[in-house]
Structures are given as structure tokens and as C-alpha cells.
């Protein structure tokens, strides 16, 4: 990854540094999912660092919902979820399904890589 030393990164580092309890909760929650995510990433030959995106997106909370209505651990918007075959109806929302949303997220990240040539 490129050198990320800038004011925004420093601000985010300070924010996380000031919340050790939050980091502990995220780390504990992530332990349920990281093995599966890393296994999928390695099988696809993708950068392992991608497994940490849900730390930022949702704190590894599969039930997370943003103010913009992005949902799940990978924070899929409704239309993007549908584009990647994540079913959403009154009975189920695959954006909250760990395996389905991880598959879709990695498909999406691969598409972006193919389009832009950079992770």
C-alpha cells in the first residue's frame, strides 16, 4: 500500500487509539468471521488486507445499518446488493449473511480492481 501518512489518517488513528474498549469489541466480534473471509480472499489470490475492510465499514457487525441504508458487515447499499445477487425482501436480507455478503464483497472488489487496476 502507498504511504498513508496524512492528517486524515492521523485523525482516524487518534480516534481508534482513544477507544480501546471499542477495538476490543471489534476484535472479539471479528474472530467469528475472519477465518472464513481470509480463506475466501486467499482462494481468490486477493490481498489479505482486504479482510480488514469490515473493521472500518461496520466494526464486523453483520446487523449494522448506516444512515444511508447500507447494511451488513460489508455495508452494501440496496441496489449494489441486488447487483451482486444479495436477496432482499421482507423475510431475508442477504447483505446480513456472512458468506453471501463476503462472496459479493469480494466479487465487487475484484470488479473494481479489474476496472481501475489498483487495490
Q: What is the DSSP string of 41-92?
A: HHHHT--GGGGGHHHHHHTT-TT-B-TT--BTTTTB-HHHHHHTT--BSSS-
Instruction: Give the active site residue among 13, 18, 40, 57.
Output: 57
Count other Cβ atoms within 10 Å, centred on residue 75.
Answer: 23
Say whether 49 is catalytic: no
Look-up of cell digits 467469528: 32
Q: Which residues are designated catalytic?
A: 57
Amino acid at each position: 500500500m502507498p504511504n498513508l501518512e496524512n492528517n486524515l489518517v492521523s485523525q482516524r488513528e487518534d480516534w481508534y487509539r482513544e477507544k480501546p474498549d471499542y477495538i476490543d469489541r471489534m476484535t472479539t466480534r471479528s474472530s467469528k468471521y475472519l477465518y472464513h473471509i481470509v480463506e475466501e480472499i486467499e482462494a481468490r489470490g486477493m490481498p489479505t488486507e482486504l479482510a480488514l475492510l469490515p473493521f472500518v465499514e461496520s466494526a464486523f457487525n453483520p446487523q449494522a445499518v448506516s444512515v444511508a441504508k447500507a447494511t451488513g458487515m460489508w455495508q452494501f447499499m440496496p441496489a449494489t446488493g441486488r447487483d451482486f445477487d444479495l436477496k432482499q425482501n421482507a423475510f431475508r436480507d442477504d447483505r446480513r449473511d456472512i458468506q453471501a455478503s463476503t462472496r459479493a464483497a469480494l466479487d465487487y472488489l475484484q470488479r473494481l480492481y479489474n476496472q481501475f487496476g489498483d487495490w
